[in-house]
């Protein structure tokens, strides 16, 4: 199953090395188990997005290691891919960039021909460069954001509502980032997505943040003394503050680390898929 990771550090740029490369169970280590691609997206001081991604395991990629040691940003988006649709190419590797926003998806849905028709009607087929359902999903969100005069929440709501009504859906979990904001969705309850709001009371220098899970073990002195909000496919340590997003919960983290949750979607998609409904390759990619 693909892995999602998002972080908002407020106005404080931090390095990503602690979870990308140096940790005992870093993104590089994870790529030995999820070998179909890895990527990291950040934003420069002027808000320009930068994506470093390759259609191979991160542990094999020297450029990934070089970037991981130097990248700094207030928001991060990372993804380790287990392919469900699309060849192992750069175009099919997450995160995707459109209109200055970054997007990564963990899940699957079908009915891509109908979605392509919808994208044509909205005039955004030029946004799709690969074969994945994920990039098409992002293109629909981007089109709807344009239709709502830049309202990201409104665009997400319109796009997800259309897919939930019109297409067979297994999971639509995603994280979307800008330099100042993060949106995360769990829908429906098929896969988990967790959030942690961390607001240390001890100013830096402090004990390093030590975040552990079966797949990720990260350690960071930079984040130890600063507030931040994390999203991950599973809890990363034993902090009791981790909580699962509810099914249908859309979370927005603003520039000042304000967190708002809304539930703008029906309880379940009209055409809910199970693992048994997926082809063998897609089903294997969606197993926990």
Domains and CATH numbers, the chain: 3-285 (3.60.20.10)
Of 1, 4, 83, nearest to 245 by C-alpha is: 4
In Å, how far from its chain's centre is CA 232?
8
pLDDT tens sequence across 21-69: 554 445 555 555 455 567 889 999 999 999 977 655 554 555 566 666 6
pLDDT tens sequence across 241-279: 889 999 999 999 999 999 999 999 999 999 999 989 887
Helix (H) or strand (E) holding 229: strand 228-232
* CA distance linking residue 7 with residue 230, whole number of Å: 5
pLDDT tens sequence across 136-164: 999 999 999 999 999 999 999 999 999 99
């Amino acid at each position: 199953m693909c892995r999602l990771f998002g972080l908002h550090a407020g106005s404080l740029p931090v390095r990503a090395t602690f979870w990308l490369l140096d940790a005992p169970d870093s993104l590089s280590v994870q790529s030995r188990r999820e070998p179909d691609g890895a990527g990291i997206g950040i934003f420069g001081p002027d808000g320009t997005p930068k994506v470093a991604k390759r259609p191979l395991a991160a542990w094999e990629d020297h450029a990934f290691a070089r970037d991981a040691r130097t990248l700094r940003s207030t928001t991060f988006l990372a993804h380790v891919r287990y392919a469900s649709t699309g060849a192992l190419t750069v175009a099919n590797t997450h995160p995707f960039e459109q209109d200055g926003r970054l997007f990564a998806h963990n899940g699957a849905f079908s009915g891509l021909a109908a979605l392509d028709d919808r994208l044509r009607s909205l005039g955004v087929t030029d946004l799709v460069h690969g074969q994945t359902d994920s990039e098409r999903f992002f293109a629909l969100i981007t089109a709807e954001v344009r239709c709502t005069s830049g309202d990201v929440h409104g665009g997400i709501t319109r796009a997800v509502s259309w897919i939930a009504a019109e297409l067979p859906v297994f999971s639509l979990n995603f994280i979307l980032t800008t330099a100042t904001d993060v949106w995360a969705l769990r829908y429906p309850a098929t896969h988990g997505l967790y959030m942690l709001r961390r607001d240390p009371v001890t100013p830096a220098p402090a004990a390093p943040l030590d975040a552990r899970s079966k797949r990720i073990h990260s350690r960071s002195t930079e984040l130890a003394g600063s507030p931040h909000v994390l999203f991950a496919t599973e809890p990363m340590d034993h902090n009791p503050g981790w909580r699962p997003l509810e099914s249908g919960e859309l979370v927005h983290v603003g520039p000042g680390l304000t967190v708002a949750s809304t539930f703008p979607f029906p309880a379940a998609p009209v055409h809910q898929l199970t693992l048994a409904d997926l082809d063998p390759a897609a089903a294997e990619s969606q197993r926990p």
